[in-house]
Structure 1
Amino acid sequence: MASVPTLSDPFVTNETHPSSLSGVTAEGVLSSTMRGAGEAYLSAYALYLNATAAQVGLIATLPALMGSFAQLLAAWWAERRGERLGLTIMGLAAQGFLWLPVIVLPLLWPDHAVALLLVTLTLYYGANHFANPLWHSLMGDLVPEDMRGRYFGERSRLMNLANFVALVSAALVLRLAKSHGHTEIGFVAIFTLAMLARMLSIPRLRTVREHALPKGRLSLHPTILWREMRGTQFSRFAIFTAVMSFSAGIAGPFYAVYMLRDLHFSYIQFMATQAVVVLSQVGTLTLWGRLGDRFGNRFVLAVTGSLIPVAPMLWLTTTHFGAILLIQLLNGLAWAGFNLSAGNFVYDSVPREKRSLYNAVHNILTAFALAAGAGLGGFFAVHVPATTQVFGLAFGHSLLWVFLISGLARLNTALAFIPLLREMRAGTATPPRRLATLFMRRTGPA
C-alpha cells in the first residue's frame, strides 16, 4: 500500500507535534476516499433503487438533519469527560460499521429499499455528526491561528486528490458492473471500499496528542445558549451560513437527478462532473488558504460569496457536457474557498472551551437549512411543470426553475449578510485596492 502523504515541517510548531499532524492528514485522506467512493454515489444509488426526485432530496438532506442532533450530545459528553479524541474515534468507528446496513438492507428488501436507505443513512450521519464537533475542537487546539489557512488548505488539497482518485475508480467499477448487467454488484463494491477506508482511518487518529479540556457544566438550554451567542460575530456568521446553505440546498440534491435522469448522462459522465469539482478544489485550496491567512477569512468569504450564485444560473444556458464541466469548475473553486474560510472563521470567533458546542450549534443550523432548502426544491421539482413560463421565460426541464431560484437566493444572501461580518483575526493585511473595490464594494468593509 502506498504511503499516506504528510505535511511538511513548516506546519510543525511548539504547539503541535509531527505525529499528530501526520495522523490528521492521513485520516483526512482516507476519509475523502470514503466520501469519493461512497457518499458521492448515494444519490445515484437512490435513483438505481427507483427513488423519485423528491425522495432523492430527502435522502440527501433528512439523514444529515436528524443525525446533526448527535452533535449536542457529543459536545455535552466531551465537556463532562474533559476529553474528545476517544469520543471522536467511537463515532467514526460506528460510521464505518454502518456502511454494512446501507449496502445490504435495500438489496434484501427491494420493495422498501428507499425507506430502508433513509433510515440507515440517518444512523450513518448521526455517527458522523457525533464525531464532527469534537474533531473540529481538537483541530482548533492543534493548529496555530496564524497558519490555519495554509495548513487546512494543504490538507484539503491532499484530501481532494484522494477524493478524485476514489471518484474515478468508483465510476469505472460501476461502468464495468453495469456493462455485465450487475449494477448492484458495482454499488456493493464501491460502498465496501468506502467502509474499509473509514475503518483504516481510525488507527491514524491514535497518533494525535490531545489537549485536555477543563471539566465543567455546559448548558444546552436554548435560552442560555441564545443569551451567550446573541449579538456576537459567531451568531451573525452562523445565520449567514445557514441561509446560504438553505439557498444552496434548494438545488444541491437535484443536480444528480438532472444529469442522470433528464440529460441521460452515463456514470462516467456523472463522475467527470464531480471530478472537475474536486480538481478545481485541489488547484485552488492552497491559494484560498494563503489569501485567508494574509487578508483574512472575511475577505475570502466576500470573494467566493460573489461567485457562488453564478454557477446554478449557468445551468440554464446549456445541456452540453463540456459546458457543464466548466460550470462545475467554477462551482468547485468557489465552494472550496467559501468552506475553507467558513471553517477557519468559526475557529477564530469562538472561545476554545466552547468550540465543540458552538460547532454543534452551527452544524445543526446548517443541517436544518439544507433540509428546508431541499424540501422547497423538491416541492418545485414535483409541482412546477416543465412548460411553465414566467415573463416569457421557459425551460425544457422543471429542475432548471429550481436552479434559477437557488441562484437568486444565494445572491441575495451574500448581499444581505456579508456586510454584517467583521474580520476576527488580528494582523491581517489590507486587500489590494482593485480586489477590495471589486468584491467589497457591495459587501461592506472588513
Structure 2
Amino acid sequence: MDQGSAAGTVFGALPGAMSLEPQPDLSLANRERGLRLLVIEAIFSGGAAALTSGVILTAFALHLGASNLMVGTLAAMPFLAQLLQLPAIQLVERWRRRKRIAVVTSLVGRTMLALMAVLAFSSETTALLLFLAAQMLLCGLGAVGGCAWNAWMRDLAPEERLGDVFARRTIWLTAISLVLGLAAALALDRTPAGSTARDLVFAAMFAAGCVTGLISAQIVAMMPEPVMPPAEGPVALRALLRQPLGDPNFRRLLVFVASWQFAINLATPFFTVFIVRQLHFAVSFVLLLSVASQVANLLALRLWGRLSDRFANTSVLAVCAPAYILAIVAMIGASQFGDRTVVKLWLVALHLVMGATIAGVTLASTNIALKLSPKGSATAYVATNAMTTAVAAGIAPILGGLLAQFFAARQFELLARWRSPNGVFTLPITLAAWDFYFLLAGLIGLYAIHRLSLVREEGEIERRAMVGQVLNETRRSIRNISSVAGLRAATDLPGALLRDARVRIRLKRAQQAHAAKTH
C-alpha cells in the first residue's frame, strides 16, 4: 500500500471524511461547502502555528539548551525549505493528486509536534538533535504540501471569490495568533524558567498544536478537489528560471533582495536570544513584543498599499527600508540604558516600527518583482525572486550562529565626552555580543538600499490583488523565528508556477500550429 492509499484508509475511518481522490464533476453546493471548510480550517491551522512557531519555537529551543548555532539553523529552516517547492511542482504535475499530497504531508509533519512535546522534559544533546530533525521534517513537508495546497486552492475558489475567502481566513488566522500569543505569554510568565511547570507548559503547547494540526488535516481531507486539467507536456523549470537571470534590471533587483534579506536575517532571528539572555527579560515579554509587531504589521499594510498605488514602489521602499534598518541598529540602545522601564518602552517602540515598515518592504519589493516581469512570465520572475530570498535569508542566520562565539568574546567601548562651563557630560557606549550583529546588519542594509537605487521600476500591476496576496502571506502559519511579524512573506514560491508553465506550453504549440497552417 502506498503512502497516499494509507492516508485514504486512515481518513476513511473518520466520521464525515471524504475520499482523497479528485472529483471530475464538482457541484456548486460541494464547492461552497469546500470554501466554508477552508475558512474553518484556518482556526485550527492558525492555532497550531501560534502555539509552535515564531517566538515560542525559539523559547522552546532555549529551554532545551540550544546553542546559538542551533537557533540560527532553526531560523534558516523555513526559508531553505521553500526551495523544495521546485521539485514539489514536478511531484504535483506527475502525481496530479494535490489533496493527497497536502493531507499526507500535513499528517506526517504535524505528528512531529507530538515528538517535540515529549522532548520538553529532556535537555540532553540527543533531545536537541531530535528536535532539530523534527523541525526540519516539519518545514520540508510543509513546503511540499504548500505547493500542492496553493495549486488546489486556485482551482477550488473562483477568481472573483479569492479575495473574500482569503480575507476571512486572514481574519481568523490573525485573531487566533493574537489570542493564543497572549495566552502563551501569560502561561510562561506564571512559570519559572527551568522548572517542571515550564516543562509542562511547553509540552502542553506542542501537544495542543499537534492536535489542532491533525484536526486541520482532517478538515482539509473533507474539502473537495477538482480534477487537474490534462498535462500539456513536461515543464522546463530551468528554461523558465533562466529568463529572469538574463534580465539586467531584474538582476539588479535580485542583488538588492539578496543583500537586504541577508542583512535583516543576520540579526532579527536572534532578537529573542538577545532579549532573554543578554537583557534578561522573560520570554513572556518577547511574546508581547511579537503581538505588538503583528498588530502594527496588519494595520500598516493597507496604508503602504495605497501609497504604492499613488506613488512608485521604490518610493515606499525608500521610506520603509531605511526605517527598518535604523530600527535594527537602534536595538543597540536596549543594552545601553540602565532603567529597565525605559528599555521595555524602547523595545516596544522599535517592534512597532519594524512590524509596520517590514509590511511596506514586503509589499513594495513583491510589487516591483511583478512589475519587472514580462506578461506571461510573471510567476517565473517571482519564483526567481523567492528563491533568491530563501537562499540569502537561509544562509544569514546559520552564519550568525557560527559567528556568535566570536563576537561573544569581544567588546568595543566608546566614550563620548562634552565639556562646557556648566560641567562635563559623558556618554559611554559599549558594544558586546549581539550588538555587533545589529551594527553589521545596518551596514549591509545600507549597501542594499544603495543597490535599490539602481533598479528602474517599470510596468503596471493591479495593486488591490497584490495587497490581498501579501496580507495573506504575512499571516501564513509558518512565521519567521524572529519576534517581528511578516519576514517570510516574500519567500513562498508562487503556486501558479506550474500553471504558468502549462500556459506557455499551450501558447507555443498554438503558435507552431498556426505557423504550420500559414506555410
Which TM bucket (shorter chain)?
0.7 to 0.9
TM-score, normalised to structure 1, is 0.77
Shifted more, 94-103 versus 122-131: the winner is 94-103
Counterpart residue number, 1:88? 102
**Preserved contact between residue 152 and residue 225 of structure 2 (Cα < 8 Å):** no
Q: Which residue of 1 aligns with 2:243?
A: 228
The answer (yes or no) to whether the contact 1:57–1:374 under 8 Å persists in 2 is: yes
Call closer, same or farther: CA 1:401–1:228 in 2, change over 3 Å.
Answer: same
1:291 Cα offset (Å): 4.6
Residues 408 and 123 of structure 1: CA distance in aligned 2, closer, same or farther (over 3 Å): same
**Distance (Å, rounded) in 2 between the aligned partners of 1:301 and 1:213:** 39
The letter for the 1-side match of 2:207 is T
Q: 1:54 aligns with which of 69, 75, 86?
A: 69
Structure with larger Rg = 2
Residue 67, structure 1, aligned to residue 84, structure 2: no
Other-structure match for 1:3:
none
Residues 161, 225 of structure 1: alpha-carbon distance in 2 compared, 3 angstrom cutoff: same
1:127 deviates by 0.8
Q: Indicate conservation of the 8 Å contact 2:34/2:223, yes or no.
A: yes
Supply the AA of the counterpart residue of 1:372.
Answer: I
Give the residue type in structure 2 aligned to 1:331. M
5 Å-filtered alignment, 1:207-356, equals 207=223, 212-215=228-231, 216-221=233-238, 224-232=239-247, 237=253, 239-291=255-307, 300-319=316-335, 320-342=343-365, 349=373, 355=379
Q: Does 1:388 align with 2:406?
A: no
Q: Indicate the residue corresponding to 1:6 in structure 2.
A: none
Q: Which moved more, 1:49-58 or 1:399-408?
A: 49-58
Q: CA deviation at 1:360?
A: 6.0
Offset at residue 365 of structure 1 (A)? 3.2
Give the equivalent residue in structure 1 for 2:210. Answer: 195
Q: Is the 8 A contact 2:293 2:354 kept in 1?
A: yes
Give the CA deviation at 1:259.
0.6
Is 1:399 the counterpart of 2:434? The answer is: yes
Match of 1:160 among 161, 165, 174: 174
Q: For each residue in 1:312-369, what CA deviation from the matched residue of structure 2 results, as whole angstroms up to 9, or x when unmatched? A: 01111234011101100011111223334555666774877995x7766554433321
Counterparts in 2 of 1:427 and 1:193: CA distance versus 1, 3 Å = closer
**Quick check: 45-54 or 371-380, which moved more?**
371-380
Question: How far, CA to CA, are the matches of 1:420 and 1:158 in structure 2?
Answer: 37
Aligned counterparts of 2:90 and 2:98: Cα–Cα separation in 1: 11
Q: CA deviation at 1:123?
A: 0.7
Q: Which residue of 2 aligns with 1:99?
A: 113
CA displacement at 1:155 relative to structure 2: 5.1
State the secondary structure of the residue aligned to 1:388.
strand
Structure 1 gap ranges (5+):
1-13, 430-446
Q: How many pairs does the alignment contain? A: 409
Post-superposition CA distance 1:163-198 (Å, at most 9, x none): 111211122222334386421111111112222332
Preserved contact between residue 293 and residue 356 of structure 2 (Cα < 8 Å): yes
Cα deviations by residue, 1:91-148 (Å, 9 ceiling, x for unpaired): 3333222212233246457232222222111111101111233444456665759996
SS in structure 1 at match of 2:236 = coil
* Inter-CA distance 317–98: structure 2 relative to 1 (3 Å threshold): same
Range 210-219 or range 264-273, more displaced? 210-219
Give the equivalent residue in structure 2 for 1:420.
455
Structure 2: how far apart are the matches of 1:235 and 1:151?
35
Quote the Cα distance in structure 1 between the aligned partners of 2:230 and 2:433.
54
Query: Is the contact made by 1:152 and 1:340 (CA closer than 8 Å) also made in structure 2?
Result: no
Q: 1:295 to 1:146 in 2, by over 3 A?
A: farther
Identity %: 23
Letter in 1 for 2:405: V
Q: Which runs of 5 or more structure 2 residues have no equivalent in the other structure? A: 1-27, 336-342, 417-427, 465-519
Aligned to 1:275, what secondary structure does the other structure show? Answer: helix
- Corresponding residue number in structure 2 for 1:441: none
Distance 2:309 2:97 in 1: 29
Which position in structure 2 is the counterpart of 1:178? 192
Paired AA for residue 257 in structure 1: V
Asked whether the equivalents of residues 386 and 397 of structure 1 are also in contact (C-alpha less than 8 Å), the reply is yes
Q: Is the 8 A contact 2:82 2:143 kept in 1?
A: yes
Instruction: Tell me the secondary structure at the aligned position of residue 190 of structure 2.
Output: helix
Residue correspondence of structure 1 range 2-81 to structure 2 within 5 A: 22-40=36-54, 41-61=56-76, 63-64=77-78, 67-81=81-95
Change beyond 3 A, Cα 1:235–1:160: farther
For 1:30 and 1:340, how far apart are their aligned partners in 2?
27
Report the residue type matching 1:416 in the other structure.
Answer: R
Amino acid at match of 1:265: F
Contact 1:133 1:360 in 2 (8 A): no
Contact 2:44-2:215 within 8 A present in 1 as well: yes
Structure 2 equivalent of residue 444 of structure 1: none
Tell me: CA distance 1:52–1:184, structure 2 relative to 1, closer, same or farther (3 Å). same
> Residues 198, 243 of structure 1: CA spacing in aligned structure 2 closer, same or farther, 3 A cutoff?
farther
State the alpha-carbon separation in 1 of the partners of residues 374 and 145 from structure 2: 19
CA separation in 1, counterparts of 2:306 and 2:32? 21
Mark the CA change 1:427 to 1:156 in structure 2 (over 3 Å): closer, same or farther.
closer
Assess, with a 3 A threshold, how the Cα gap between structure 1 residues 192 and 235 changes in structure 2: closer, same or farther: farther
